[in-house]
Amino acid sequence: MATQNIKITRRQELFTKSDLSVSENLEGIDALKIKRLRLEAKKGADAYERGEYIELGSADDVDNLFDGIRKEVKTKRKAK
């Protein structure tokens, strides 16, 4: 079988040299994603408890919200 040389990042190099199997590495990554998801869900629940939310009663409300966000982003980009 022919071999090929490829360039890999330092992170990839460390990954290939680690003592963990691929499945153990993937489990670790999944665990980090789940931890992050739980953290973000808690932030959202805490904000809700503090009353930091807006109610959207219709599709027009959603459209208006996103129109406002788009305008804010365009304004910030122009300011740069």
Domain edges within the chain: 10-79
Which residue's entry shows tokens 């959202």? 44
Q: Are 56 and 65 in contact (CB under 8 A)?
A: yes
**pLDDT tens-digit readout, 22-49:** 677 677 788 889 999 999 999 999 999 9
pTM above 0.85, yes or no: no
53 versus 13: which is more confidently predicted? Answer: 53
CA pair distance 47, 41, nearest whole angstrom = 10
Cα 27 off chain centre by: 18
- Confidence check: pLDDT of 65 > 80: yes
- Residue 48 tokens, joined: 């809700």
The H-or-E segment that residue 44 falls in is helix 22-49
